Amino acid sequence: MNNTTTNDPINIRKPLVIIFGGQSPEHSVSCSSAAHILKVVDTEKYEVHVLGITLDGTWVHVFNEVSCDDQENLPQALDAVGTSVNPITFFNRLKETSPIVFPVLHGPNGEDGTIQGFLELMHVPYVGSKVLSSALCMDKLKTKEILKNAGIQQTKWIGIHASQIEKVARSAIDVELEIPLFVKPSNMGSSIGITKVTERSKLHSALQEAAKYDEWIVIEEAISGREIEISILGNDEPKVSLPGEIIPGAEFYDYNDKYEDGAILKIPAQLTQSQILNAQELALEVFALLRCRSLARVDFFFDERANKWLVNEINTMPGFTPISMYPKLWANSGLSYEELVEVLISTAS
């Protein structure tokens, strides 16, 4: 008589913690990105927890406020409201179940190595670049310095500290950089704090505007090149998407264009096969040079007359809203939004 009994395997779901919100001017973008990621997460595979960070820095557990089993009815953007939690206590409680974190945070105090450093201290694997890479890529001046040292072509630029605004505004800066100029905070994304300066008399106010968001400021020449973006996905052997072109609906690709569907996105961009390969190779070179992992979007200006690629910047946690370029590029490269999120979760380390 066979007394052996068999039991069905227990479906143990792995904890997945989505962190969103944050103390950044890009807070609302994060709330929208997180909502759309949450809609496609496989809740049969993952036990989903949602942590919000309010604008005043309070961590809240919104798991009970969001029905993860009813993703179809989730709002277009999450609210960072819920039960206040101590993040250290929260992750210590989950430690034995080996959670994975998807920090869907954009801008300062989220994309700049700060959250990444906290997660490293908690010994929790997470999606995205590590501390050093996150900090370097968030700081446009440091990114530009590294690219310059590597011989990668960019637009002409200078960096200044906010304490130098009065001196720079009075100087003959147009001898070194020709107007029109772009003035932008060094540590910010989503085109926040950026001004296009077309008259010398407007430089001072543009510098003051950028200084509202960061003490370091980038001043760079505007060029008439085409705006091309490429998405990268993976760790040791990253994959690269088809390129997409942005045709701004405003004077430049500003916040409203990015998140209110004002720009025209052409995917794939109309380029020759040789031009596409050149851009993809350069994007991967930048990704590796800055030690990125999981994901990034590399933004270029393409000078068609000179057949020259100029690197504008790299974003290590690009937006995930329905009209965001990063997921759109992958969708047109054969990877659906749902598949993209699953692959990203698998890159956590």
Q: Which CATH superfamily is domain 157-221 in?
A: ATP-grasp fold, A domain (3.30.1490.20)
| CATH architecture of the domain formed by 137-153+224-346 | 2-Layer Sandwich (3.30)
Parallel, antiparallel or unpaired: strands 216-221 and 100-103: unpaired
Please say if the pLDDT value at position 249 is more than 90: no
Question: Do 14-126 and 137-153+224-346 share a fold?
Answer: no
Q: What share of the chain is helix, strand, coil (3-state, %, to 5)?
A: 35, 25, 45
Mean pLDDT, the chain, rounded, equals: 89
The DSSP line for 114-164 is: HHHHHHHHTT--BSS--HHHHHHHH-HHHHHHHHHHTT-----EEEEEGGG
Q: What is the pLDDT of residue 13?
A: 87
**Segment 194-198 mean pLDDT:** 91
Question: Structural domain boundaries of the chain?
Answer: 14-126, 137-153+224-346, 157-221
DSSP class of 245: E
| CATH architecture of the domain formed by 14-126 | 3-Layer(aba) Sandwich (3.40)
pLDDT tens profile 24-75 = 888 999 999 999 999 999 989 999 999 999 999 999 998 655 555 555 667 7
Residue 311, both tokens: 């690197």
User: The pTM is what?
Assistant: 0.88
Q: Are 229 and 282 in contact (CB under 8 A)?
A: no
Q: Is 256 left (phi over 0), alpha (psi -120 to 50) or beta?
A: alpha
Whether omega before 327 lies within 30 degrees of 0, making that bond cis, reads no
Asked whether the CA dihedral 69, 128, 349, 281 is positive or negative, the reply is positive
Please say if the pLDDT value at position 204 is more than 70: yes
